[in-house]
């Protein structure tokens, strides 16, 4: 399918304000370095790309997902810096920072505007790397996330007339906040592939978490063992995501591309390469064209290897979304590496690859009951496939 509509990319320098302060993993340097690398590679110019900023989301919009008392608490903390741990504000993970409400609301508006642009045909795809704040709950901040932009964007799609929305989350951490919002809503499929909650925050996302009453099978969780690399991670995606998304037949696909699955990430224990992440983004892009007429909103998320991983991973995502994929053998521009040297006193990576082939054996090739990854996949298929009318052994 081809489209004359542009690809929408959310960005303005004001969005760097979402930053929890010096020493916190969720530094806005991740975003700045990503956009600068994408710009250096020429991905954000041309008539087929629309680069747009965002205004602050209104309280009314935020309250389509978040409790009014929580939104008010964020306003108070943002105005006077006072923590309120009853709402998760002021913890080590979510310290209060200046203009926290304004910065967080801007991320939400960027995702909502993009979702609606895709739904209305004003954009073919849309990318908001500042978004993907998937841990925020209705009444609390959690896991570096203040407002849940993904959930608010999905609600906006439903309110605009979408009958079904599929959300696929490939962050190393379980997409618990989005799952919680739509637990009882059969119109939304939430799929999360992540490191097992037995080893990693938030401790949820087990295969048996499959959706609430009347929405059975619409929460899909693949909890992968620590140490899973490209072959197992991509096999898990292949074994679960296409089947459930095709069967669900969404009007729009929303994806979260936290790149903390990488083997260099300091907070997680998966061992995925940049090349594996790139292949996953290609798969999701192709799936959006196959099942949703190309209506695709891609969001950022986690990723804490600030120089060596995040900018390259999300630049590949931007290249795929804008239909100008970056060849993995491409050399990283000297201007970007010089910027890294000025800021960090060292050179950044020299090419857009980890030199991995990112191969995997498809699920159709057979199940190995002695393999930890295969057992995790099998548990998920057994938990949710029957509720979706799928055969866990053959579909």
Q: Each residue's pLDDT tens digit in the chain (395 positions)? A: 446 799 999 999 999 999 999 999 999 999 999 999 999 999 999 899 999 999 999 999 999 999 999 999 999 999 999 899 999 999 999 999 999 999 999 999 999 999 999 999 999 999 999 999 999 999 999 999 999 999 999 999 999 999 999 999 999 999 999 999 999 999 999 999 999 999 999 999 999 999 999 999 999 999 999 999 999 999 999 999 999 999 999 999 999 999 999 999 999 999 999 999 999 999 999 999 999 999 999 999 999 999 999 999 999 999 999 999 999 999 999 999 999 999 999 989 999 999 999 999 999 999 999 999 999 999 999 999 999 999 999 99
pLDDT value at residue 114: 98
Angle at 296 (CA atoms; ends 33, 9), nearest 5 degrees: 35
| SS3 state of residue 104 | helix
| SS3 state of residue 50 | strand
Nearest to 43 by CA among 379, 391, 311: 311
pLDDT value at residue 347: 87
Measured distance CA(7)–CA(48) in Å, rounded? 6
* Catalytic residue check, 206: no
Q: Where are the domains of the chain?
A: 7-55+105-388
7-55+105-388 belongs to which CATH class? alpha beta
Which residue among 66, 135, 173, 174 is the active-site one? 135
Whether residue 202 is preceded by a cis peptide bond, meaning omega within 30 degrees of 0, is yes
Measured distance CA(213)–CA(216) in Å, rounded? 6
Q: Which pTM was predicted?
A: 0.98
Report the DSSP beta bridge partners of residue 154.
none
pLDDT value at residue 55: 97
CA atoms within 13 A on the CB side of 315: 31
pLDDT value at residue 46: 87
User: 166 in the Ramachandran plot: left (φ > 0), alpha (ψ -120 to 50) or beta?
Assistant: beta
- The DSSP result for 238-298, as a single string, is HHHHHHHHHHH--SEEEEE---TTBTT-SS---BB-HHHHHHHHHHHHHHHHHHHTT-EEE
Angle at 325 (CA atoms; ends 319, 330), nearest 5 degrees: 105
Cα dist from 65 to 17, 127, 177, 181, whole Å: 22, 21, 10, 7
């Amino acid at each position: 399918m081809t489209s004359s509509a542009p690809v929408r990319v959310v960005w303005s320098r004001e969005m760097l304000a979402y930053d929890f302060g010096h020493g916190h993993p969720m530094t806005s340097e991740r975003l700045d370095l990503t956009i600068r690398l994408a710009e250096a590679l020429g991905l954000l110019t041309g008539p087929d790309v629309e680069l747009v900023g965002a205004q602050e989301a209104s309280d009314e919009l935020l309250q389509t997902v978040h409790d009014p008392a929580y939104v008010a608490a964020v306003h108070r903390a943002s105005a006077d810096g006072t923590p309120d741990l009853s709402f998760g504000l002021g913890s080590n993970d979510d310290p209060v920072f200046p203009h926290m409400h304004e910065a967080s609301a801007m991320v939400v508006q960027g995702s909502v505007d993009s979702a609606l642009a895709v739904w209305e045909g004003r954009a073919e795809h849309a990318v908001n790397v500042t978004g993907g704040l998937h841990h925020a709950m209705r009444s609390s901040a959690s896991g570096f996330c203040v407002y849940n932009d993904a959930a608010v964007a999905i609600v906006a799609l439903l309110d605009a007339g979408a009958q079904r929305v599929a959300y696929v989350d490939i962050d190393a951490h379980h997409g618990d906040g989005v799952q919680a919002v739509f637990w009882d809503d059969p119109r939304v499929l939430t799929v999360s592939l992540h490191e097992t909650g037995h080893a990693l925050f938030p401790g949820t996302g087990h295969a048996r978490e499959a959706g609430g009453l009347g929405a059975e099978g619409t929460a899909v969780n693949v909890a992968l063992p620590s140490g899973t690399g490209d072959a197992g991670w991509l096999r898990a995606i292949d074994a679960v995501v296409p089947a459930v998304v095709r069967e669900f037949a969404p009007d729009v696909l929303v994806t979260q591309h936290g790149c903390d699955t990488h083997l260099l990430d300091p907070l997680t224990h998966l061992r995925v390469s940049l090349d594996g992440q790139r292949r996953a983004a290609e798969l999701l892009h192709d799936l959006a064209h196959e099942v949703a007429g190309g209506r695709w909103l891609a969001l950022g998320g986690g990723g804490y290897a600030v120089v060596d991983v995040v900018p390259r991973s999300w630049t590949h995502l931007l290249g795929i979304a804008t239909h100008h994929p970056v060849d993995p053998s491409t050399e990283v521009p000297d201007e970007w590496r010089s910027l890294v040297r000025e800021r960090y006193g060292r050179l950044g990576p020299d090419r857009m690859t980890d030199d991995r082939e990112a191969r995997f054996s498809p699920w159709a090739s057979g199940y190995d009951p002695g393999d930890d990854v295969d057992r995790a996949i099998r548990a998920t298929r057994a938990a949710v496939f029957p509720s979706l009318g799928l055969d866990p052994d053959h579909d």
